[in-house]
DNA sequence: CGAAAAACTGCAAACGTTTACGACCTTTTG
DNA sequence: CAAAAGGTCGTAAACGTTTGCAGTTTTTCG
């Protein structure tokens, strides 16, 4: 695990002083009960809004709790309630614009409904993914939200997903019996290709991976559009398992060293599109002058000045919110079936696509 | 809270079928004890590696646990152990390149040491920040790692920080009696300014906020360098409370509509530098041809093609790792004092600064 | 062989809650 | 005015662990 601190030499610490921290023994129900002269069951009822308690004593107790700084101990509570109000969020790496935006909305929405989220990075391998899911189970989370690492994730954690409500995010699971909410990748790719077509492009290159379900679906959308519109299909497959700017750049360098027999590129990922941009700049290939470029995901970087990448937006906020709603439904209503929720991606036009004349 | 799903109309769901999920009653110590024909205390000891147990029975029990799929219930465990092995991570918004990178390393490092992390967004206001910290206390976290919202955070959550080990990240707290680990903002700004000076620049504009401690320190570093080098100081203050590309852009538009009497800009934040870039492009001001630009933070976007922003790197990974180390020390050794750990930022040269001739 | 030591295992308390049940007191009702 | 009804509160069990202590068995060694 890459977590050891390097260049310690470059750090320096200053010890400043000592706080007068009192090791606070947190106050319990029993404490306020004693102070109020009632049993601690009564205090519990006062806090939980039980009807079987006098409104005068309730107020008195609540006020006392406030004064004494009582906060209910959630782990004790979870113990008896047999639920933790905790959901596990597992993402390949939170260090990633797409994931972190998802995580943001997940946490906000979850908390708005009384849940806290436990964050786990599942990267880089399937073993760790399995480990963190198992860990989450031990923590007794009420449910799990997971962005799968690859198409193998389902098999990888199958043993646990029937022990706790689980919904997959972002990655389509196709025919597997699991709930998920994701963008319609096929349609997004279709929209992108068709947009390029409408701009006059007839030779469109598909650039990217095809060996995860998500990317397979994107490729399918591209192919469907090509068939409908009578275009020839052209692929540049990536052997890389993770798409990144660096990988896209490497691939694009190769690509641009050969004759250019296309007028537009559909990159299956914004990251790879960004890599293409770098390679193109290096080779003095004008985008969109010589070739148009469209990406997929609409990560924040695409909106940057000088980048202005035209792309397909994955509605991250909606994916996150729908996912926690779906999970809540499973948790709170014990809903048993599995649901596939597919959200529409949208075209966001910026500066890297140009009409052919 | 901005969490309601919009454009539901654009979504559609497909119900596919029903899983044959058995509502699994999770197996407890008592269960495996019965199966093994021993008391559950013995099972507990077998798992926990207690010395007072026969190695033959231990192996037998461990094997049995494996077969029965037993995983220890952490909430029950936490109950008696009086610790949860949980640390709370609170950041203004995880939806932010800087925070998410920090969070990534925090989670990795924490888990490597047996802790799980509970993630909370504290934004946008101080009230919510207080709320989530209180929540974390109720969850009985062993410690809290927090990236403060503003310089008011310390006062805001002071009532809780002495109830649980806490270390602040990234924001310098100056003379306040709280542990933190952060980059040396003053020095970073000093380095940036001096670099510009060495490139021949004599009129350097400080661009950004100054009303948070962090930015005040950066301004001080700039001022110190100016004094030492005999440069005139020039400020463009932002009235915005949060720095973002949009804010930087707005400010820069105003700026560029007036005569340009500087040859370089030190932006107190990469985000604002990105905003400057956009405004400059709009006005056809050549960067770095006409004016050099340096940022602060080294967020991932700065490394993008066509951006290539020269900047000062905050060692996020080191900050994260040192912070959890410091927190662990407080938790596990009950260390009482407070420590300020200050890490050296470094200059990363890219394309937006040019030597004056 | 016998006793002390060592090795192993079980009993039971404790952690801080929630809640079913029952007890008590007050009010209503016929 | 007695009984039923309703309201209010306390008792105690339960949740699944860990661990001090005591009890039992085995080993060791004089």
pLDDT, averaged across chain B: 91
Q: Which residues of A touch B162 (CB under 8 A)?
A: 19, 21-22, 24
Residue A67 has a pLDDT of 93
> Would the pLDDT of A3 be above 80?
no
Closest CA to B25 of B63, B62, B69: B69
**Dihedral sign, Cα of residue A21, residue A23, residue A28, residue A32:** negative
Domain boundaries along the sequence of chain A: 29-72, 84-183+316-342, 185-314
Q: Does domain B84-183+316-343 have CATH number 3.40.50.720?
A: no
| DSSP 8-state class, residue B310 | B
> Would the pLDDT of B8 be above 50?
no
SS3 state of residue A237: strand
- D19 C1' closest Cα residue: B41
SS3 state of residue A236: strand
Residue A226 has a pLDDT of 98
Query: Contact, B112 vs A3, CB < 8 A?
Result: yes
Q: How far is the CA of A54 from the C1' of D7 (A)?
A: 8
- Weakest mean pLDDT among A142-146, A233-237, B108-112, B346-350: A233-237
Task: Read off the pLDDT of each residue in A337-343 and give the average, rounded to a whole number.
Answer: 91
Give the span between the Cα atoms of A18 and A263, in whole angstroms.
67
Residue A23 has a pLDDT of 54
Q: Which of residues 33-62 of A touch B (CB under 8 A)?
A: none
The reply to whether A251 touches chain B by the CB within 8 Å rule is no
Give the span between the Cα atoms of B220 and B190, in whole angstroms.
8
Q: Which fold has domain A84-183+316-342?
A: Rossmann fold (3.40.50)
- Compute the residue count for chain B: 357
- pLDDT tens figures, A19-64: 545 556 789 999 999 999 999 899 999 999 888 888 888 999 999 9
Per-residue pLDDT band at B192 (split at 50, 70, 90): very high
Most confident of A21-35, A333-347, B307-321: B307-321
> Would the pLDDT of A10 be above 90?
no
Give the span between the Cα atoms of A31 and A50, in whole angstroms.
20
Task: Read off the pLDDT of each residue in A169-182 and give the average, rounded to a whole number.
Answer: 86
The reply to whether B235 touches chain A by the CB within 8 Å rule is no
Q: Which residues of A touch B24 (CB under 8 A)?
A: 162-163
The CATH architecture that domain A185-314 belongs to is: 3-Layer(aba) Sandwich (3.40)
Whether B342 and A95 lie within 8 Å, measured CB to CB = no
Query: Contact, A137 vs A164, CB < 8 A?
Result: yes
Residue A199 phi, psi (nearest 5): -80, -5
The two three-digit tokens of residue B216, written as one number: 């005040």
Quick check: do A29-72 and A185-314 share a fold?
A: no
The reply to whether A21 touches chain B by the CB within 8 Å rule is yes
Residue A288 has a pLDDT of 96
- List, chain by chain, residues whose CB lies under 7 Å from nucleic acid strand C: A 26, 28-30, 40-41, 44-45, 47-48, 50, 52, 70, 72-73, 76-77, 79-81; B 37-42, 45, 52-55, 57-58, 76, 79-80, 82
> Would the pLDDT of A286 be above 70?
yes
Query: Contact, B215 vs B247, CB < 8 A?
Result: no
Residue A177 has a pLDDT of 86
Residue A243 has a pLDDT of 66
Give the span between the Cα atoms of A109 and A112, in whole angstroms.
5
Q: Enter the pTM of the model.
A: 0.92
Give the span between the Cα atoms of A82 and A80, in whole angstroms.
5
> Would the pLDDT of A123 be above 80?
yes
Among the partner residues B74, B278, B334, nearest to A305 by beta-carbon distance:
B278
The CATH architecture that domain B29-72 belongs to is: Orthogonal Bundle (1.10)
- Compute the residue count for chain A: 357
Closest chain B C-alpha to A87 CA, distance in angstroms: 10
- D12 C1' closest Cα residue: A41
> Would the pLDDT of A211 be above 50?
yes
DSSP track, A274-315? HHHHHHHHHTT--TTTTSEEE-SB--GGGGSTTT--BEEE--
* Upstream peptide bond of B80 is cis (omega within 30 degrees of 0): no
Closest CA to B102 of A305, A103, A114, A300: A103
> Would the pLDDT of B2 be above 60?
no
Task: Read off the pLDDT of each residue in A156-176 and give the average, rounded to a whole number.
Answer: 89
Give the span between the Cα atoms of A144 and A147, in whole angstroms.
10
Q: Which residues of A touch B318 (CB under 8 A)?
A: 5-7, 11
Q: How far is CA B156 from CA B45, B122, B127, B149, B151, in A?
A: 44, 12, 8, 10, 9
Q: How far is CA A31 from CA A39, A44, A233, B79, in A?
A: 10, 12, 74, 18
- Weakest mean pLDDT among A201-215, A236-250, B198-212: A236-250
| DSSP 8-state class, residue B231 | P
């Amino acid at each position: 695990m890459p977590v050891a601190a390097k260049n310690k030499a470059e750090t320096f610490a200053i010890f400043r002083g000592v706080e007068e921290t009192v090791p606070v023994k947190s106050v319990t129900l029993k404490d306020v009960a004693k102070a109020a002269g009632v049993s601690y069951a009564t205090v519990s009822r006062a806090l939980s809004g039980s009807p079987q308690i006098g409104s005068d004593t309730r107020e008195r107790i609540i006020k006392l709790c406030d004064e004494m700084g009582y906060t209910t101990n959630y782990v004790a509570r979870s113990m008896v309630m047999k639920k933790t109000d905790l959901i596990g969020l597992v993402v390949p790496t939170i260090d990633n614009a797409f994931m972190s935006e998802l995580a943001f909305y997940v946490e906000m929405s979850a908390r708005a409904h009384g849940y806290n989220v436990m964050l786990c990075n599942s990267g880089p391998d399937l073993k760790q993914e399995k480990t963190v899911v198992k860990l989450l189970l031990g923590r007794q989370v009420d449910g799990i939200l997971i962005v799968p690492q690859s198409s193998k994730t389902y098999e990888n954690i199958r043993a646990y997903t029937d022990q706790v409500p689980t919904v997959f995010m972002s990655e389509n699971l196709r025919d597997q019996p699991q709930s998920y909410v994701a963008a319609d990748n096929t349609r997004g790719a279709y929209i992108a290709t068709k947009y390029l077509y409408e701009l006059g492009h007839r030779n469109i290159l598909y650039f990217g991976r095809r060996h995860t379900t998500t990317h397979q679906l994107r490729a399918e959308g591209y192919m469907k559009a090509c068939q409908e519109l009578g275009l020839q299909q052209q692929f540049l497959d990536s052997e890389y398992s993770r798409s990144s700017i660096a990988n896209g750049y490497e691939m694009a360098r190769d690509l641009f060293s050969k004759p250019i027999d296309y007028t537009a590129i559909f990159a299956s990922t914004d990251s790879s599109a960004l890599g293409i941009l770098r390679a193109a700049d290096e080779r003095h290939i004008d985008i969109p002058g010589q070739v148009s470029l469209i990406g997929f995901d609409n990560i924040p970087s695409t909106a940057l000045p000088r980048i202005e990448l035209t792309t397909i937006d994955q509605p991250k906020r909606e994916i996150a919110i729908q996912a926690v709603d779906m999970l809540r439904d499973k948790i709170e209503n014990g809903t048993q079936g599995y649901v596939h929720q597919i959200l529409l991606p949208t075209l966001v036009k910026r500066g890297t696509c140009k009409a052919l004349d």
